Every structure is written in C-alpha cells, then in structure tokens.
C-alpha cells in the first residue's frame, strides 16, 4: 500500500479572535478582519516565511517586497544561486518555531489604511463585547 504523508504548510497568526475570523461572531462591519492576519508559510526548501499576502517579513523585523530569487531575468544579473542565498538570509526562517515567533511579535502591529490590528480589535470589543454580543 502507498504511504500517505501529511505536513502543515501554513499557519495563521493574528490577535483577532478565531470566532471573528470564522464568521461566528456578530462583527457587523468587520467582514474583513482576516486582513489583520499574517501567514507563516513553508517554502519548497523547508524554510519558512512570514507574509501579510503582499509583503514578506524580513528577519530584521521590517517588511519588504522581495523579488523572486529564481527569476532568470532578474535585473541585477547575479547568478540564481547567489540571489537565493541572499533572499534566504533576508527573508527565510530556518524553523517553523522561529517564523511563528517572528509572526507573533509582528501581529499586533499589522496596519491597514492607518489602523493597527490592536485598534481594530479594541473597536470590535467596544462594539460587541468580549463574547461578540
């Protein structure tokens, strides 16, 4: 019989309560709470990255828009393997625990249209209470 393997490929990291993300709390105008969520993703070589769907969290805690290291038409003309090493040094986390820790630290500061995740959560709780009522 063929053996089946199961492995986690991504994790969601946010300060927004799970019930609100799943749609089971009366969040009213907060249908877009998922935007204040980060994703920790496993990459092909076994490294992990933290993304907000548009940017990637660099290892120094800042956000960047990385150019794919495997792009053969990369404007710097550098060999692909050298770009890959640079990319990994800037954006790749060596373990899921390291990536999750970086995402946990960054989650409260996720900002969209000038609103931080902490502000959105405070507004939601003020309107709907701790249990979403």
pLDDT band at 61 (very low <50, low <70, confident <90, very high): very high
- Over residues 8-31, the mean pLDDT reads 71
Per-residue model confidence as pLDDT tens digits over 62-120:
998 876 666 666 666 666 777 788 888 899 999 999 999 999 999 998 888 888 888 87
- The residue among 15, 36, 14, 33 whose CA lies nearest residue 23 is 33
d(CA 108, CA 38): 10
Give the HSE-up count for residue 59: Cα atoms under 13 Å, Cβ half-sphere: 13
In the chain, where the domains are located: 10-128
User: Would the pLDDT of 29 be above 60?
Assistant: no
Q: Which residues sit opposite 129 in a β-bridge?
A: none
Average pLDDT of the chain, as a whole number: 81
């Amino acid at each position: 019989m063929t053996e089946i393997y199961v492995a986690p490929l991504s994790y969601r990291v946010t300060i927004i309560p799970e019930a609100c993300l799943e749609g089971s709390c009366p969040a009213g105008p907060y249908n877009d709470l998922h935007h204040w969520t980060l994703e920790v993703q496993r990459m092909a070589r076994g490294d992990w990255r933290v993304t907000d769907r548009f940017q990637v969290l660099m290892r120094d805690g800042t956000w960047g828009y990385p150019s794919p290291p495997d792009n053969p038409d990369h404007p710097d003309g550098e060999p692909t393997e050298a770009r890959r090493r640079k990319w990994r040094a800037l954006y790749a986390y060596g373990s899921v625990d390291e990536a999750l820790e970086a995402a946990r630290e960054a989650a409260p500061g996720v900002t969209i249209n000038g609103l931080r995740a902490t502000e959105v959560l405070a507004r939601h709780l003020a309107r709907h209470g701790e249990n979403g009522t």
